[in-house]
Amino acid sequence: MPEDPVSGKSAADRVPLSVYVLGLSVFALGTSEFMLSGILQPLARDLGVSIPKAGLLVSAFAVGMVVGAPVLAAATLRLPRRTTLIALLAAFMLGQVAGALAPSYEVLFASRVVSALACAGFWAVGTAVAVSLVAENARARAMAIMLGGLSIANVAGVPAGSFLGQQAGWRSAFWAVAALAAVGLVGVLALVPRTAVPTGAEAPNLRRELRIYRDKQVWLALVTIALNAGAVFALFSYLAPLLTEVAGLPESWVPSVLALFGVGGLIGTVIGGRIADAHLFGTMYGGIAASTAVLALLALFAEYRWVAIALALMLGVTAFTTGPALNARMFNAAAAAPTLAGATATASFNIGNTVGPWLGGLAISAGWGYAAVGWVGTVLAAGAVVATAVSSRVRVRSAVVAGSPVTEPSARAGHPSSPAEPSARAGHLSSPAAPSLSAEHPLSAE
- For domain 205-423, the CATH superfamily is MFS general substrate transporter like domains (1.20.1250.20)
Q: What is the pLDDT of residues 348-368, one digit of tens each?
A: 888 887 788 888 888 888 888
pLDDT of residue 179: 93
CB half-sphere exposure, 58, CA atoms < 13 A: 21
Alpha-carbon gap, residue 60 to 83, rounded angstroms: 26
Amino acid at 7: S
CA–CA distances in Å: residue 53 to residues 50, 59, 109, 272, 392: 5, 10, 10, 37, 43
d(CA 30, CA 22): 12
pTM of the model: 0.69
Angle between helices 216-236 and 338-365 (to 10 degrees): 40
| Structural fold of domain 10-196 | Growth Hormone; Chain: A; (1.20.1250)
pLDDT at residue 74, rounded to an integer: 76
Domains 10-196 and 205-423 share a fold: yes
| HEC letters along the chain | CCECCCCCCECCCCCCHHHHHHHHHHHHHHHHHHHHHHCHHHHHHHHCCCHHHHHHHHHHHHHHHHHHHHHHHHHCCCCCHHHHHHHHHHHHHHHHHHHHHCCCHHHHHHHHHHHHHHHHHHHHHHHHHHHHCCCHHHHHHHHHHHHHHHHHHHHHHHHHHHHHHHHHCHHHHHHHHHHHHHHHHHHHHHHCCCCCCCCHHHCCCHHHHHHHHHCHHHHHHHHHHHHHHHHHHHHHCCHHHHHHHHCCCCHHHHHHHHHHHHHHHHHHHHHHHHHCCCCHHHHHHHHHHHHHHHHHHHHHHCCCHHHHHHHHHHHHHHHHHHHHHHHHHHHHHCCCCHHHHHHHHHHHHHHHHHHHHHHHHHHHHCCCCCCHHHHHHHHHHHHHHHHHHHHHHHHHHHHHHHCCCCCCCCCCCCCCCCCCCCCCHHHCCCCCCCCCCCCCCCCCCC
Tens digit of each residue's pLDDT, the chain (446 residues)? 444 444 444 445 577 788 888 888 888 888 887 787 667 678 888 888 876 677 678 777 877 888 887 787 777 777 788 888 899 999 999 999 999 999 999 999 999 988 988 888 888 788 778 877 777 677 677 777 877 777 777 667 777 777 787 778 889 989 999 999 999 999 889 888 876 665 555 556 667 777 777 888 888 888 999 999 999 988 887 887 888 888 888 877 877 887 888 888 888 888 887 888 778 888 899 999 999 999 999 999 989 999 999 999 999 899 888 887 887 788 777 766 766 777 788 788 888 877 888 888 888 888 888 889 899 999 999 999 999 999 888 776 665 444 555 454 433 333 333 333 333 323 332 332 333 333 233 223 32
Asked whether 284 and 322 are in contact (CB, 8 A), the reply is yes
**CA torsion angle for 225, 231, 232, 234 (degrees, to 10)?**
130
What pLDDT was estimated at residue 148? 74
pLDDT of residue 392: 82
Q: At what angle do helices 305-333 and 254-275 cross, to 10 degrees?
A: 40
Please state the domain extents for the chain.
Answer: 10-196, 205-423
pLDDT for 171 equals: 92
